[in-house]
Chain A
């Protein structure tokens, strides 16, 4: 019987397999950041252990970093202490670190791929649930807790029970206005926040094959929001083209050997998935969330659902709680929801293509009065590229704030937060209560919907903007 992509990558990394035990899996790449690593380094110290493979380990600073005044000392002493702890740990143990101010600094899941470290058929871990992002390259990539971070630092392996596999096949072609973000939000709404639990998802089908690497990363990034630890897409010419020439991509004979291996990383025709979901791309539309978990979403053209319409008692209760927290009423059209803040950025939608997409909508338009729009590039490299293309000017001329790279308002560990009761349209990945600031209300959206929403001050798609652009030459 054939094997799935996930099974092939898994099998290639088994260090030890024994009856009644989890497989011991080798880890090809370990990404570190300041939040989930300090206790792991402490554990190493207490046990007198070293980092086993410094050459497979890399760190950056992202969760706490400010996006303004990065040349000045960090105002929050607790954030500063956490960054200083990472710097000390990396220096003590010899780990390569890209700190704030370094040209390779940025959100860890943006940095790995752009350096060419994320490659097909590798195992990638990080103490961050959005490590699933790297699955876009056909890597088996998943978030781990701090105990596991320590385990990987010490052994370069993890004992893991093999998950089941689920195929998510997206047939047809995405309509013009529909993005990867809309697609993944629709998938999560369909299978639920627990639907992928225990599975590695494999996104496949014609609509997936046509996506760019950036779009594939957006999809795989949010696998965790469906409960799946990992999501994967089989590598193809798009993947190889993205990798060729990057800092850590193989060269010469190594490149040829790598590509030959990478081409084998496809689910066999006779492979059997434990579960299968089929989505018709043609039926999709711009999608937004209305609730407090990423599965509580609907097409932008819909209205806030009535909790009474849910048959399942637990879902009904969750919807009631969500509407109460979000300050929404059943039946309210989603397009009539006003926002205070628009956030473009994060490991979900902070890459160059995302910024281009948002800028293309904002070009020649203005952010609505009373609306604050933050654009936070995913990495310094993304920021430099955006500046080279003049995107920063498009944003600032529209009235948006152009910031430095980091996780920023996705989780508000730095000063970029919502005030209580404030409402955002955000290109990030979680609309949990208080995620973007205590009492803040989050609607998850694509970069295009974020930009259109900024212009109108209410949830909107670019199609709603027909007459808001200042004629060329006038702006």
Chain B
């Protein structure tokens, strides 16, 4: 996983709530068997409208998405995270994320930052008024900074440590292989098996 320490970039204000994963990446894109090449599928339906915020010339190269509440609801597709990253986003800010999307994002080094809606509102107003305004997402200090906005955010220490160091979860888990083996040895005989010996 790519490590995340701090990032500064221009923002895309997305004034929508309940942005579901079918909007982020429609299902027909899910037939691909790679983790890359999803950038053209990102918000595919909405991007057909030339006035959609992501299509505006002043938003090109922006890397921080500031969205309404309940971002990433719906399907478990990790492709939604890959699509955002493939497009160039490094961080997403919202007042509330769907659980699975949040988990997926943190496993891929896309930082999802939860801020109170009034702070999101302030970021929307700032970046709509001035598209060149930069937003800094600082994971070390757990703080978002922009002109007139300084807001601390929470992220549990373990997730933060994994992100800051870009650690591989599987390798970390396998350090505890002995615990897994011990658990397996003690499992009840009646538990189901897909393959019977």
**Residues of A that sit less than 8 Å from B by CB:** 15-16, 20-22, 24, 26, 28-29, 35-36, 38-39, 42, 47, 49, 52-58, 63-64, 76, 78-79, 81-82, 85, 96, 116-117, 119, 122, 127-129, 131, 143-148, 150-151, 154-157, 159, 161, 163, 193-194, 197-198, 224, 227-229, 248-250, 254-255, 257-258, 261, 292-293, 314-315, 317-318, 321, 411-413, 430, 432-435, 438-439
Q: How far is the CA of A432 from the CA of B77 in the complex (A)?
A: 15
Asked whether, in the complex, the Cβ of B193 is within 8 Å of the Cβ of A229, the reply is no
* Residue from B31, B74, B117, B170 within 8 A of A432 (CB atoms): B74
- Distance in angstroms from A230 CB to nearest chain B CB is 10
Residues of B within 8 A of A21 (CB): 158
Residues of A within 8 A of B77 (CB): 35-36, 145
Q: Which residues does B use to contact A, with CB under 8 Å?
A: 15-18, 20, 22-23, 26-28, 30-35, 45, 68-70, 73-79, 81, 96, 98-100, 103-104, 107-108, 117, 156-158, 169-170, 172-174, 176, 179-180, 183-184, 187-197
Residues of chain B within 8 A of A24, CB atoms compared: 173, 176, 179-180
Distance in Å: Cβ of B10 to nearest Cβ of chain A: 24
* A435 and B194 in contact, given A78-B31, A227-B70 (Cβ under 8 angstroms): no
Across the interface, A248 reaches (CB within 8 A) one of B22, B79, B157, B194, namely: B194
* Cross-chain contact B22 with A257 (CB below 8 angstroms): no
- With both beta carbons as reference points, the residue of chain A lying nearest to B162 in the complex is identified as A159
A81 touching B31, Cβ below 8 Å? yes
B31 touching A79, Cβ below 8 Å: yes
- Residue from A26, A54, A64 within 8 A of B31 (CB atoms): A64
Given contacts A145-B107, A155-B180, contact A197 B193 (CB under 8 A): no
Cross-chain contact of B32 among A78, A248, A261, A438 (Cβ < 8 A): A78
Chain A positions within 8 Å of B188 at CB level: 257-258, 261
For B189, list chain A residues within 8 Å (CB): 254, 257
Which B residues are CB-close (under 8 A) to A54? 194-195
- Nearest Cβ distance between residue A431 and chain B, in whole angstroms? 10
Question: Quick check: A161 and B76 within 8 Å, CB to CB?
Answer: no
**A318 close to B192 (CB less than 8 A):** no
Set of chain B residues within 8 Å of A20, measured between Cβ atoms: 157-158
B158 touches A22 (CB 8 A): yes
- Contact residues in B for A315 (Cβ distance below 8 Å): 17
User: Is B170 a contact partner of A154 (Cβ separation < 8 A)?
Assistant: yes
Q: A85-B33, A147-B169, A151-B173 are in contact. Are A127 and B76 (CB under 8 A)?
A: yes
Contact B73 A16 (CB under 8 A): no
